[in-house]
Structures are given as structure tokens and as C-alpha cells.
């Protein structure tokens, strides 16, 4: 039977962070704008989460959506955001920096990891758009990251399970491999057994309907209103709990 598996929830608000904790998550990755793949959360969001949560908070440092090749100004923002997150009590930092040719920017990644010390650093799913996963893994290890977040360069971790297993074997004790992408209570057990990961990462979100009684239909475009523009996604503790329960059932919690 596998040993304990850590469950991390990806959240983009204080409410979602608290919901993840209620669901049994052992850690949160705190972001903003998950609809864009995640960007750096505000200082206030970090501070309130730090005051309210009893589980570790790893802060995403990403200055914008889109690709992971950053200008000098964007890189300076990242360095300053790392410093702010440290000052506000974050327990870890999550980054990902690539070169134009879709390889890990080892120099800049190392600089950000050094700026984050003594906090541990996760290299996020920028890893999944690198051109050579094993080379990228060696680069991230060399830069000093504690873990890599990956779906196995596939749409979901279930689809990329074979590569995730290869990365786990390749990494050995040098770095942690965190499986992410489409993880739920139905597939997490098989993934843990077949890939051998010790940590899993999921969004676990559900649609929250606006509680407002009035939406002026002559202000927002009709297409947005038809798509539920006033609604949003937030962490569903039941989905987090389903993963935790599934792992507990196999002796991994």
C-alpha cells in the first residue's frame, strides 16, 4: 500500500482556500485569475489567507497569462512578488520560466529560487510545454526546485500517467513530482499506484451562481449574460473530500 499522499488544492480566493481546507486539502496553491491559467494573487489575499488558514500556502508568482517567456520588466515584478509573499508569511512559492525555445530558463529559475529561500519552490506546469521532459526535469533539479507540477505533458494526468511514472523514476529522491490535471475521486487511486507520485494537485471547482437580484441587461453584452457572466467557479469542498476519501480508502491518508 502507498504511504501518505499529500493533496494540494489550486485556489484563487480566500473563500476557495477555506473550502479546500474544509475538504481536507493539506496545502493550497494560492493564485488569481484561474480562468487565465493563474496569476499572482494580491498581497491582501495572501495576508487574509495566512491569517485564516491552518494549512500551508504556496503562492503562485506569474505576472500574466499566456506563455512563460518573460521580459526583463516582468521578471523584476516576479522577484518583487516573491519578496512580498515571503514578507506576508507564504510557506512556498510556485514559478515557471522558459526560454524562447521551450526549454527551462535555468539562469532565471535559479535566481527566483534563490530569492525565495528559505521557502521551497515548485516549478509549475510550464514544465508541460517544454520540448523535452527529461531534460527539463534535470534543468529544474539543477536550479534547486523542490518539486515539479505536471500532467505528464498531456491534457490530464490520467492521459499523461506513463510519462509521470517515468519522471518519478528519473527523479528518484532529487525532486518531488506532483501530478495535476483532471484529478478526481474516481481516478486518483489508479494514478497514485501506476505513477508512484507522493503528491496530487487539483482544482475541484464548481459553478457558483450570482446571488444578486438585479442584473442590468442593457449594460453587459447579451452573449456574456447568456453565458452566465455574473457566475463564477469556486472550490467545492466535496470534490476535494472525494479525493482525500479515495486516498484514505487505499491507506494513503
How do residues 126-135 score in pLDDT, each as one tens digit? 999 999 999 9
Could you read off the pLDDT of 150-195 as tens digits, one per residue?
Answer: 999 999 999 999 999 999 999 999 999 999 999 999 999 999 999 9
Q: Is residue 1 a part of any domain in this protein? A: no
pLDDT-derived band at 1 (thresholds 50, 70, 90) equals very low
Distance CA 94, CA 9 (A): 13
Q: Which of 40, 47, 8, 45 is nearest to 24 (CA)?
A: 8
Could you tell me if residue 226 is inside a domain? yes
Report the distance separating Cα 151 and Cα 163, nearest Å.
9
Range of the structural domain that residue 67 is part of: 6-249
Strand 92-95 vs strand 120-123: parallel, antiparallel, or unpaired?
A: parallel
**H-helix segments, the chain:** 14-23, 43-52, 72-87, 106-116, 133-143, 161-171, 188-195, 222-226, 237-249
Find out whether the peptide bond into 239 is cis, omega within 30 degrees of 0: no
Q: What pLDDT was estimated at residue 220?
A: 57
Mean pLDDT across the chain? 94
User: For 79-116, what is each residue's pLDDT tens digit?
Assistant: 999 999 999 999 999 999 999 999 999 999 999 999 99
Is residue 34 assigned to a domain? yes
- The total number of structural domains in the chain stands at 1
Domain CATH for 57: 3.20.20.380
Whether 174 maps to a domain, the answer reads yes
Model pLDDT, residue 180: 98
Amino acid at each position: 500500500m502507498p504511504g501518505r499522499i499529500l493533496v494540494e488544492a489550486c485556489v484563487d480566493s480566500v473563500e476557495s482556500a477555506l473550502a479546500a481546507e474544509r475538504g481536507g486539502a493539506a496545502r493550497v496553491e494560492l493564485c488569481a485569475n484561474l480562468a487565465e491559467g493563474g496569476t499572482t494573487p494580491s498581497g491582501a489575499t495572501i495576508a487574509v489567507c495566512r491569517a485564516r488558514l491552518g494549512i500551508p500556502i504556496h503562492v503562485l508568482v506569474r505576472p500574466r497569462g499566456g506563455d512563460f517567456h518573460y521580459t526583463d520588466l516582468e521578471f523584476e515584478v516576479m522577484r518583487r512578488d516573491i519578496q512580498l509573499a515571503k514578507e506576508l508569511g507564504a510557506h512556498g512559492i510556485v514559478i515557471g520560466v522558459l526560454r524562447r525555445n521551450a526549454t527551462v530558463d535555468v539562469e532565471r529559475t535559479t535566481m527566483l529560487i534563490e530569492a525565495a529561500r528559505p521557502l521551497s519552490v515548485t516549478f509549475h506546469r510550464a514544465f508541460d510545454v517544454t520540448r523535452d521532459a527529461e531534460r527539463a526535469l534535470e534543468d529544474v533539479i539543477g536550479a534547486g526546485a523542490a518539486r515539479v507540477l505536471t500532467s505528464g505533458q498531456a491534457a490530464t494526468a490520467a492521459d499523461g500517467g506513463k510519462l509521470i511514472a517515468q519522471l518519478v523514476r528519473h527523479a528518484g529522491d532529487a525532486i518531488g513530482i506532483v501530478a495535476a490535471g483532471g484529478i478526481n475521486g474516481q481516478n486518483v487511486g489508479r494514478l497514485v499506484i501506476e505513477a508512484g507520485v507522493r503528491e496530487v494537485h487539483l482544482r475541484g471547482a464548481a459553478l457558483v451562481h450570482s446571488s444578486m437580484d438585479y442584473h442590468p441587461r442593457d449594460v453587459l453584452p447579451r452573449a456574456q449574460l447568456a453565458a452566465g457572466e455574473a457566475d463564477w467557479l469556486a472550490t467545492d469542498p466535496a470534490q476535494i473530500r472525494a479525493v482525500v476519501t479515495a486516498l484514505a480508502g487505499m491507506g494513503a491518508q
